[in-house]
């Protein structure tokens, strides 16, 4: 289990009575590891890349979104752990609240850890702590290996690079961030969600 205060920064930033986002609770799901990418039209548009780990979602904000081209190095900035229930959140965070803006579930699926240590899959928590984790994504839009490597800082707001690994799922011609903008849950665009819920 993560440190009991792992979700405290999440809770501290939100007024549970004013935002439609889920409350922060630890909800481990044994045996499964999910990932989710949420497109978030906040002050600056970004894609939140989240990996389930011990009942929370480890989170990075990726300003340009994930690429399927191994030549692209996408900046990914660590943000606070999110509750697992956040993986299904789509909607509009009201103005004046932390992260105000519209969120859609851009991709989702499961992942497994590729990072090896002593010929075995490394413990992902240790891998993240040490600043390098490689994962195999089995999503609807994103598939194959992705490497996350820390380049600057520690903890929250530390800078990482998210890079597609060279494997059979790499494809320099695909650009799902622009060609597949819609939600994998509802099929809606950010504009449609904002209109319906704003
Ligand atoms: Mn965000």
Nearest Cα neighbor of 86 from 138, 21, 154 is 21
Please enumerate, as own/partner, the contacts of 123-127 that have beta carbons within 8 Å and a separation of 24 or more: 124/51, 124/53, 125/2, 125/53, 125/54
pLDDT score, position 21: 83
pTM given for the model: 0.89
pLDDT of 31 higher than 80: no
The position carrying tokens 């600056």 is 44
Gap from CA of 118 to ligand 1 centroid (Å): 35
pLDDT score, position 110: 94
Gap from CA of 49 to ligand 1 centroid (Å): 9
pLDDT score, position 88: 95
- Mean pLDDT (whole number) for 115-119: 70
The three-state DSSP-derived secondary structure of the chain is: CCCCCCCHHHHHCCCCCCCCCCCCCCCCCCCCCEEEEEEEECCCEEEEEEEEECCEEEEEEECCCCCCCCCCEEEEEEEEEEEHHHHHCCEEECCCCCCCEEEEEEEEEEEEECCEECCEECCHHHHHHHCEEEEEEEECCCEEEEEEEEEECCCCCCEEEEEECCCCCCCCCCCHHHHCCCCCCCCCCHHHHHHHHC
% of the chain at pLDDT higher than 70: 90
pLDDT score, position 198: 57
Gap from CA of 119 to ligand 1 centroid (Å): 35
Length of the chain: 198
Gap from CA of 3 to ligand 1 centroid (Å): 22
Gap from CA of 115 to ligand 1 centroid (Å): 26
Distance CA 45, CA 54 (A): 28
pLDDT score, position 13: 86
Ion ligand 1: residues, Cβ under 5 Å: 40, 48
pLDDT digits (tens, 9 = 90+) for 171-187: 999 999 999 999 999 99
Handedness of CA 26, 161, 178, 41 (dihedral sign): positive
pLDDT score, position 32: 59
pLDDT digits (tens, 9 = 90+) for 80-98: 999 999 999 999 999 999 8
Gap from CA of 164 to ligand 1 centroid (Å): 21
- Mean pLDDT (whole number) for 16-27: 75
pLDDT digits (tens, 9 = 90+) for 132-149: 999 999 999 999 999 999
% of the chain at pLDDT higher than 90: 67
Gap from CA of 120 to ligand 1 centroid (Å): 33
Gap from CA of 197 to ligand 1 centroid (Å): 18
CA angle at 184 for the pair 38 and 14, rounded to the nearest 5°? 30
75 pairs with which residues across the strands?
Answer: 161
Gap from CA of 75 to ligand 1 centroid (Å): 14
Who wins on pLDDT, 115 or 69?
A: 69
pLDDT of 156 higher than 60: yes
Gap from CA of 98 to ligand 1 centroid (Å): 9
- Mean pLDDT (whole number) for 39-58: 95
Gap from CA of 55 to ligand 1 centroid (Å): 19
């Amino acid at each position: 289990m993560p440190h009991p205060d792992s979700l405290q920064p999440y809770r501290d930033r939100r007024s549970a009575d004013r935002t439609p986002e889920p409350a922060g609770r630890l909800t481990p799901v044994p045996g499964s590891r999910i990932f989710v990418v949420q497109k978030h039209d906040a002050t600056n548009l970004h894609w939140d890349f989240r990996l389930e780990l011990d009942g929370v979602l480890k989170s990075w904000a990726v300003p340009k979104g994930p690429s399927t081209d191994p030549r692209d190095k996408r900046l990914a900035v660590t943000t606070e752990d999110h509750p697992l229930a956040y993986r299904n959140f789509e909607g509009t965070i009201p103005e004046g609240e932390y992260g105000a803006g519209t969120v859609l579930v851009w991709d989702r699926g499961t992942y497994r850890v590729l990072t090896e240590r002593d010929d075995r899959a490394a413990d992902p928590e240790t891998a993240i702590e040490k600043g390098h984790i490689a994962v195999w994504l089995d999503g609807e839009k994103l598939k194959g290996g992705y490497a996350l490597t820390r380049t600057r800082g520690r903890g929250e707001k530390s800078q990482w690079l998210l890079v597609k690994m060279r494997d059979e799922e790499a494809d320099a011609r695909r650009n799902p961030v622009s060609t597949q903008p819609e939600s994998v849950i509802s099929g809606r665009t950010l504009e449609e969600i904002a209109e319906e819920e704003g």
